[in-house]
Chain A
Amino acid sequence: MKKIYLYYLSSLMLFPILAQSQVKSKLWYDGNARVLYNRDALEGTLKETDTVSTRSNGGGFTILDLGFHFTPVDDIEIFSEVRLKNDFGGMWGNKSFVELRRLSAKGVINKKISFSVGDIYLKQTKFTLYNYEQELSEYEPSVFKFYRDFVNYENYYQSNYWRLQGVQTNFSYNMYNFIEQLDFDGFAARVRGQEWMGKPELLMIGGSAVIKSSNNLNLGSHYVNTFEILSSSNSLVTYYNPVLNTQLSYSGTLKDKPYKVLLEGGFSKRGWDGDSLAPEIKGNFMEASIHSKSKKGEINLGFRYVDTDFRSTGAQTRRINYNNSTTTYPYYSNNYTQRKVSLIDMMSDPNIYNQNLSTSLMNYNPMYSSISPYGNATPNRIGLTADIDNFNLTDYLSVKVQAQYFSEIIGQGTTNKRSFNKSALHSLLSLDKLLSLKNSFDLEGSINLETVKRDGEDFEKIDFNSILYSGSISYELIKNLKIIAGAKVFYAEGNEFIAERDMYDQINDYSNNTYDSKETILIGGIQHHFTDDIYFTMQYNQFNVLDKTNTYDEFSMGRLIFMFNMNL
């Protein structure tokens, strides 16, 4: 009897809590918190020869990005992310910043049509709207991931989406015959706002329609048009760039192995209305690929053709802007030499990255990216690709392999065409599994090799090679606390022509550049994971950039860095 009374009493006391947990909360929070402190110091001969730059400089910040999710009704969610930032060195708010990082709303109409407005993330196909990864980031050892996460987060890079302001809607129809499902998606975004006495407003509209059939055959059509609004400025010229991409895919099995075949093609047009000097160019592309996945790993084989005149604002915009100044030591040496964007900055500096779509082909550095500087949408390419992903040779060794062979379709400045080769290999060796150790012990290594060649007369020959060696060791001392060490060594040698383009992207000159450089990055320290999303790292980095054609401007720097990251 006593037990029954206790039982009823406990239920009565706990009832409100139980009741509360059954009611959905209208307001909830998420976000990210980060603390970063770094101290950079010149090293090597620069310490003696550079009497103008500071020997060392430190900086850092604390950031709290607080996201508020509010659902006034079940079908609508309003999201707002506010950043509170305090730079080190400021007390009582004199170096504090508050800014609105994101504001958007999304919802579902009649349980059928979903929509998003405000700051939205958009992605379509690799030829219409796609945010390609930055160069030399593929096959990067995991010890460098904290830098990559920091750079991507600050620049709103999420899984190849572009962050734009606009509205998006999508809906589906289920059917019961040969056609199983119809998916529709449409969006409109403002890429560039009105400028006082400047360029017209630039908008992007797009849509997708996908037919899924009952025999595993899917047909999709994707369209994007980037255009300027004539009435939004005093200019008489407006830009336009429609791109259409049609995809046909088929999924099947061959000898019990599933595979997927994708065939896609399309065209683009780009011009300037109202400008009699501007050319209108039309280009097309085609890609065919076969993908198969098994327990052992995944394999991809592909063929790609992209016309010289193919242009796509949404797919050919690059992440790295080589015209931006570097944050760390933008100028150095007594000659006040401007420090060019190098591997250090690509790895760790969010300020050299670009967040806006570009209507013209952005500059790139062939040293770091000569094969596909604009991703799959790089114009003037025809060739084959093959890659093997997550291939488990044994239960402690997995590898990834990639090979690409491309040729130009039209020679630049000559009838001789460039040939491009890329080979990449990544391996992960889990020594703890091999040696039956209790604590995690991983070795990672990767090689990325790119070559560009062109035959012909002496004045047009190209012979360029670049190779990036990366490696890392990660040993778990105690639970979740690891000692980490990593290295990247990059070599670039040879010559390559950089095309100089006018305002219409037409080539009007070339510069023949000679490269003979070596860059080294070494990192070592500790890393502790509270959870997968909450960790801190403290380490020492050593950077060296040597251009052997100009050894006087060698740059060496050491960095002590502490970073705490928490995803809420």
Chain B
Amino acid sequence: MYAATSAEPGALGTRARARAEVAVIEETSRRRLFEAEVERLLDRLFGTALRLTRNRADAEDLVGETVAKAWASLDQLADPRMFEAWIQRILANTFVSQWRHRRAQREVALTAEEDGTALDGEGFSLFERLHQPFLLWWSTPEAMLETKLLREDLERALDSLPDAFRVAIVLTEVQGHSYAEAAELLGVPVGTVRSRLSRARGLLQRALWEQAREAGIVPDHGRGREDRD
């Protein structure tokens, strides 16, 4: 059969052209599908990148690099329904490797400030602060705080966290990775992720509490006591 076909150069040429045309159509279709998916997810990719980098220009670069890497490894995506989780993982991996590279260049270990040991946030609970007796003249002080808490308050509190803690929160809460997945992405034990998250949440809630007091959302009666805690 193959010999007979090869004896007809005209037919072979036609078939080769047809195959080439099909390949071009498939590639164009693949690219359009990829573009549509990226477009659909762009706000989420940019938002996540912004939380990780804390800088709009760096976030744009991170998304650009992520999209290029995703296209280059698209064949590795076994299930197209997992596209979002897959590209978010590429974004996280890209950020973490850049972060490690910067750290290696600086040739420093986590400083006390960066790993949070110099910061007092362990076990801090916003809910418990809001339920101090002097605040209970509000029937539900936490609801009062929540209604006045702006997105920019949360962003500012998240951005104030040391890198290692902010990254732990973004990977698990924002991107939805399990502790084990975050540990794998970061190259650290699961216990480290767990302890970073615990401290990160304490620091985040303390930052929100401080912001709420500064904004006058909650009264400042407890400042002296807070400072002693």
| Bound pair (A, B) | no
Chain A contacts to B: CB under 8 angstroms: none
